[in-house]
Structure 1
């Protein structure tokens, strides 16, 4: 089964495993995978907003390639880029914005060119029942509204800045979070009246929260790029996983999660 882990635990585990555990062996293509069967551990660094969809893709990829064990590290894209550039062992990087992918590419960290595999946009999220009666983006300029936003250096924070500029709204956030799931958690717990997250995160939260669409979201649509990493310990599995995400089966999972096609 696939695993999710933080960067520190991940690095320790991979160090203990050793490079020999990363040997791969190509066999005949499994039905519906669109790639050769591969073996060995596979480590994927992915944006926090991909948690649910990539968890499903990891399960499907393992089913198509029984010799593979997928480990995910989900976090803010900018933090993941820094970890990769600092030498954290990983095979694939999937970012919520080209900027973070570019930081890795500029350092020579990816193989070939990154490929955009999905698009996403922001949505207002409020606790169930919308107790503060938030109706639109203009409410984020209200001093007595308690709000959570992503920090500006992460993709959801950069996108938030664009939509506020487009709307002519100056927000006064009560908390700035390092990834979109942290914003969502603040809202689910009722610690804030509203936040800005991706529409896919609102969908993943189900009945725990309510989402409010707003017109300015069109001003900040995020492209999600993916690429195998140049120092991937399991290069064959890295390529196969990227191909799987880009396949019809991968797009079906992403569409079901609310991502738009690139």
Structure 2
């Protein structure tokens, strides 16, 4: 058993503990009334989860460093880093929606090697260790067997508030192009909750114009370990330095690249 596999149960326990704290804070009737209320609720959730995550994960892997900004992108310095999203889909949580999770990914020299994604309301935990497969509650995952976009269920989403006009243009053009090629398209946040569907074979591909690490690292490892293909939208190997992202079932990946590579 690898060192990373040995570490997995401890990481899973920490992430689930953070999720339990957030579940206690969740109110289906939550309706923040203005931007100040939204921002205050987001920060309070982040702090509650981070109190559990930071202590537990740094203790589990002494020497690993902590990526502070969950919305940061680009490569990390060499070595091991914890890349987490204390409330992936926090905007959903504070508006009383159920689509949120807690994620923690160990990144080694800019490659994700271990990840845990926990959905407290569903009671589901998705895990992957590089080279060891991807799992939901201990059951192995595999990506879709589809071989073309004509039957594909595809998804994308906005990575963070305040994206620039150029990113919005690319999102809009890509959605139009993909809706013309695929069967059904879905646009929602957060990215990880669409990526776990790709890993599980329920959806066929996900793309995003972003380099936000915390929204992509966990899903990239899960999809790859479930047998999927992870690249940029032009089919080149994806790294944290890439400006965009594509994760797909093997049978639909070439056609997805054909569609998305037309977006400049």
User: Is the pair's TM-score, using the shorter chain for normalization, greater than 0.5?
Assistant: no
Please identify which structure carries the higher helix content: 1
For the pair shown, the structure with the greater C-alpha radius of gyration is: 1
Q: What TM-score comes out, normalization by structure 1 length?
A: 0.33
TM-score normalised according to structure 2 size: 0.32
* Higher RCO (CA < 8 A, seq sep 6+): 1
